[in-house]
Amino acid sequence: QSVVTQPPSVSGAPGQRVTISCTGSSSNIGAGYDVHWYQQLPETAPQLLIYANNNRPSGVPARFSGSKSGSSASLAITGLQAEDEADYYCQSYDSSLSAWVFGGGTKLTVL
Amino acid sequence: QITLKESGPTLVKPTQTLTLTCTFSGFSLRTNGVGVGWIRQPPGKALEWLALVYWDDDTRYGPSLKSRLTITKDTSKNQVVLTMTNLDPVDTATYYCARLYGSGNDWNWYFDLWGRGTLDTVSS
């Protein structure tokens, strides 16, 4: 079980806005470590989606945004599209484990 | 263009040792501020960071598998090798290598580029 927690699933209709939470503790997100987000499309490798809490790599649409507050972070997707259907993972660092840690993943279903 | 590609056996017997190779191009592990890590994903499950090696030969290991892992790099071949000993069926997973990149303290770095992964099955 991961030290950073995500909801197993979220869903939304095309065009809607959805958010995915990533909840940690004082040894990871709450300690000030950055949060990064990855998108894993079906049967493919993860891809970096958001880095350092709220930065988008080149090529990632502005519909994707990240935020962080206290011991939690969130990924928001606006204008939901069918191709956004994927698994999403948050990642941070945990000082108690001395490890880079991933959340359990959230499956996004576009209705 | 930066690419990473994993290679290794697809089927391994329990108790054997797994050796995986990550061959990359488009960047150098001689460059300050770069690392290469291994992450695995059991079928239908979440990602788990396993190990990483930095440009300066420093290595880090995940706590749960630390005693079974060794990561090395061959800068001249642009390769990173992960060995995992004493395999068990629960080690069946897709194994990814990825570049660790960032600025400032390394605990804030992220895996910016990934290989396609290699599915390794542990079964007798």
pLDDT in tens, B42-60: 999 999 999 999 999 999 9
In this predicted structure, the answer to whether residue B31 has a pLDDT above a threshold of 90 is no
Instruction: Report the sign of the C-alpha dihedral through residues A55, B26, B55, B46, in that order.
Output: positive
Contacts of A27 in chain B (CB under 8 A): none
Q: Mean of the pLDDT values across residues B63-70?
A: 95
**CB B120, CB B93: distance < 8 Å:** yes
pLDDT of residue A20: 98
pLDDT of residue A106: 98
Q: Under an 8 A CB cutoff, do B96 and A101 touch?
A: no
Chain B partners within 8 Å of A93 (Cβ) = 107-108
pLDDT, residue A9, reads 98
**3-state helix/strand/coil string of B82-110:** EEECCCCHHHCEEEEEEEEECCCCHHHCE
Contact B112 A51 (CB under 8 A): yes
The pLDDT value recorded for residue B24 is 97
Residue A1 has a pLDDT of 78
Q: Which of A48, A98, A100 to mutate to test the interface with B (most CBs of B within 10 A)?
A: A100
pLDDT tens by residue, B111-122: 999 999 999 999
Measured between CB atoms, does A99 come within 8 Å of chain B?
A: yes
| pLDDT at residue B102, as a whole number | 87
**Mean pLDDT, rounded, of chain B:** 95
What pLDDT score was predicted for residue B32? Answer: 86
The CA distance from B116 to the nearest CA of chain A, in Å, is 5
From A61, A60, A77, A73, select the one nearest A33 (Cα to Cα). Answer: A73
- Cross-chain CB nearest to A99 (options B49, B111, B117): B49
pLDDT given at position A82: 97
User: pLDDT digit string (tens) for A5-33?
Assistant: 999 999 999 999 999 999 999 999 999 99
Task: Kindly state the average pLDDT of the residues B17-39.
Answer: 94
Q: CA angle at residue A41 from A46 to A57, to 5 degrees?
A: 55
Instruction: Indicate the pairing of strand A64-69 with strand A47-50.
Output: unpaired
Taking only the tens place, the pLDDT of each residue in A49-101 is: 999 999 999 999 999 999 999 999 999 999 999 999 999 999 999 999 999 99
